A and B are shown apart, each in its own frame.
Chain A
Amino acid sequence: MSLAELGLRVALVVVAFLTLPLVVGQAEHKVMAHMQGRLGPMYAGGFHGWAQLLADGVKFAQKEDLIPRGADGPVFRLAPAVALLPYLVVLLVIPLGPGDLVAQPLDAGLFFALAVLGVGVVSLLMAAWASANKYSLLGGLRGAAQLLGYELPLVLSAASVAMAAGTLSLPGIVAAWRPWWLLWQLPALLVFFTAALAEIRRPPFDMPIADSELVFGYLTEYTGLRFALFLLAEYVGIVVVAALTTVLFLGGWKGPFADASLGWLWTLLKVFAVSFAVIWLRVATPRLREDQLQRLCWQALVPVALGQLVLTAAVVTAT
């Protein structure tokens, strides 16, 4: 791979990193507005409120950049960057289409993605502690407990697919995928999607933020652009989670027809479909209480993921 090609690939990933989350953010505005009969997001700019996202951006850029007097400044300022970086790096290994349509094919791509995603929790703890605010700290503690717990079913269910495909490379997993895996790996798919939703702290797993009890959790003290960066991290998180679900469980670039030529389109379609489900769940489900959240993880997801591992191993050794 020449240096110019490498630069082009990285540039394309950065472009995807900057545009896809905005598309998801705009979709969230509109989908929520339709589902909840909200009038606000349908107003700005005239037709269908197309300018709402722009207005939000302008609003964030105008707000004053506040750092509480008691806060630990450097850590406080660094936290949003640490929240964004893992997602940007993970986008490097996600294959868009067959052949060479992946920024950086890695042998252990799946493992790399899971390892890097795990770093995100550090940013949460940094934001929570550096804010010097009791609500922030409470939100951070809830978040750390949640993320540590849900990482286990996430990794176990991903391991099931890796076992079925016999490889840790993400393009390799898609290449090995067959439509009947949808049924065979269905429990793993549900566990992975639920755990990933908890990993990015989206409702119904938004206990760490819980705006009706903790002000805004670990984001309480953040304003303006830094807050916008955390929001951006949330939307990139949706894209990354949807992309990983697509690649691992939904067959990535494989579709009913024209796999080779239109593969990238299938991938994007599936990513947006999963993102839509994530937004839908936010509108349709109430927030889980802390004990319900931990019980769901340890008493439902982990046993199901372990059972799926046994099933996968049995089928792989039998065939």
Chain B
Amino acid sequence: MTSADWLLAALGTVAVAAGHRVVATDRLVRAGLHLVLCLGAVAGMYLVLTAEFLAWVQVLIYVGAVVVLLLFAVMLTRAPVGAAADLDRPGWTAPLVGGAAGLGLAALLVDAYRWTAVAPAAPGTPEALGAAVFRSWVLPFEVVSVLLLAALVGAIVVSRPGGRR
């Protein structure tokens, strides 16, 4: 194993362990903080795989905005500092479903590649990514932006007071 492999394995372990804490802890805000760790470790994995730009996007969007919004909402509604006793969590089905899905996907992936070596992709620089998005994939990109706009308009309509009841 090269040092990159070791790093990848270590970051993966951190991500999985933090992900486990997210669902296993009974303190709501700590679950969000573990999510920060988990997503940060995933950003580190992108970095090891030379997808530099994607790693920073992950930090900016997921750590800096999505998780913060999530924590913000949790604190606005209810966020006891100690353990929350009234969290409903299925006891044994969740590990079963989660473990089976994870193992199944891993097995599929291993079976798909076996021992064939795959040439590493070119580093994910902003330039390469920009060229890919705005030359080859410009139509899906625009369609996604229309979808997001529709979601935004929908959110405003739903949350507007005095609208159609």
Contacts and interface: CB of A to CB of B under 8 A. Distances in A.
Interface stretch (A38-46, A47-55, A138-146): A138-146
Looking at chain A's contact residues, the main secondary structure is helix
Interface stretch (A113-121, A201-209, A237-245): A113-121
A251 B2 CA distance: 42
Interface string B75-88: 11001011000000
A225 interface: no
A122 B126 contact: no
Contacts of A112: 56
Contacts of A259: none
B52 interface: yes
A72 B81 contact: yes
B56 A108 contact: yes
B59 A118 contact: yes
B60 A118 contact: yes
Interface stretch (B11-19, B62-70, B92-100): B62-70
A105 to B, nearest CB: 13
Contact of A130 (B57, B67, B81): B81
A265 interface: no
Interface residues of B, number: 27
A111 B53 contact: yes
Contacts of A144: 68, 71-72, 75
B75 A118 contact: no
A164 interface: no
Given A129-B81, A148-B72, A108 B126 contact: yes
Nearest to B64: A118
Given A118-B60, A137-B75, A140-B75, A111 B68 contact: no
Contact of B57 (A71, A106, A115): A115
B29 to A, nearest CB: 5
A122 B59 contact: no
B75 A141 contact: yes
Contacts, number: 84
Contact of A125 (B56, B57, B68, B126): B68
A70 B63 CA distance: 27
A108 B33 CA distance: 27
Contacts of A107: 52, 125-127
A114 B82 CA distance: 33
Interface string B119-151: 000000111000000000000000000000000
B72 A145 contact: yes
B63 A119 contact: yes
B27 interface: yes
A265 B27 CA distance: 50
Contacts of B56: 108, 111-112, 115
B81 A125 contact: no
A318 to B, nearest CB: 20
Interface of B: 27, 29-30, 33, 36, 52-53, 56-57, 59-60, 63-65, 67-69, 71-72, 75-76, 79, 81-82, 125-127
Interface of A: 70-72, 75, 106-108, 111-112, 114-116, 118-119, 121-122, 125-126, 128-130, 132, 137, 140-141, 144-145, 147-148, 151, 168
4 nearest A-B pairs in the assembled complex, by CB-CB distance? A118-B64, A115-B60, A115-B59, A115-B56
24 contacts: A70-B81, A72-B27, A72-B29, A75-B29, A75-B30, A106-B52, A108-B126, A111-B57, A111-B60, A115-B56, A118-B59, A122-B68, A125-B72, A125-B75, A130-B81, A132-B81, A137-B79, A144-B68, A145-B72, A148-B65, A148-B68, A148-B69, A151-B64, A168-B126
Given A115-B56, A144-B71, A168-B126, 19 more contacts: A70-B81, A72-B30, A72-B81, A107-B127, A108-B56, A111-B126, A114-B60, A118-B60, A118-B63, A122-B33, A122-B36, A128-B75, A129-B81, A140-B75, A144-B68, A144-B72, A145-B72, A147-B68, A148-B72
